[in-house]
Amino acid sequence: MPIIINLDVMMARRKMSLNELSARVGITLSNLSILKTGKAKAIRIETLEAICKALECQPGDILEYKD
């Protein structure tokens, strides 16, 4: 898949655990884990917005396109 999810990188930079991010964003650990591992087929804009707010980053810091 050419879309790379760099969620784990941003979480490490912010020293934030999966549990903490889950609580801040308001999505389950399992859904966040699916997104983190790149197995998600889609992400809601409101979820991406909440993740960016919690991690103080831009969507481009999390999502990357590689051909």
Instruction: Read off the pLDDT of residues 21-41 as tens digits, 9 standing for 90 and up.
Output: 999 999 999 999 999 998 999
Give the predicted TM-score (pTM) of the model: 0.89
pLDDT in tens, 3-24: 999 999 999 999 999 999 999 9
- Domain 3-65 bears CATH identifier 2.40.128.690: no
CA atoms within 13 A on the CB side of 49: 3
* CA gap 25, 28 in Å, rounded: 9
